[in-house]
Amino acid sequence: MAYDVDLNEARTVISKAVESCETVEQGDHPIHIFAQEFGDSSINFEVTWWTGSAPLEQRRSRDEVVTAVKRALDDAGLEIPFPYRTLTFKEPLPLSRSEDDEAEG
């Protein structure tokens, strides 16, 4: 999640999304959501749930859960950021336009 997102709100949205999935076993098997780490551009969560044990069941469940979580976060207006990079150079870089750039513009 983006650093400016309320983590408890994000956790609630994620939990409801996972609970809505048909492939997620409910009842005695809780869903766990942990704020895992400070990433380059985000707070990363680990989400665990119970599903069938066959490899195909696990793949279907992961697909359903990831899709549901993405949709729920989008609907709630909670940002999943892409990595930002800031480049620093020892010496200033000259900025100039090439003749090709000028012809296109």
For domain 1-105, is the CATH number 3.10.20.30?
Answer: no
pLDDT the model gives residue 59: 98
At 25-46, the pLDDT tens digits run 988 999 999 999 999 889 999 9
pLDDT the model gives residue 105: 58
| 43-48 vs 32-38, strand pairing mode | antiparallel
pLDDT the model gives residue 56: 97
Contacts (Cβ under 8 Å, ≥6 apart) of 71? 17
Helices (H), 1-105: 7-19, 55-75, 99-104
From the CB of residue 104, how many other CB atoms can be counted at a distance below 10 Å? 8
- What pTM was computed for the model? 0.78
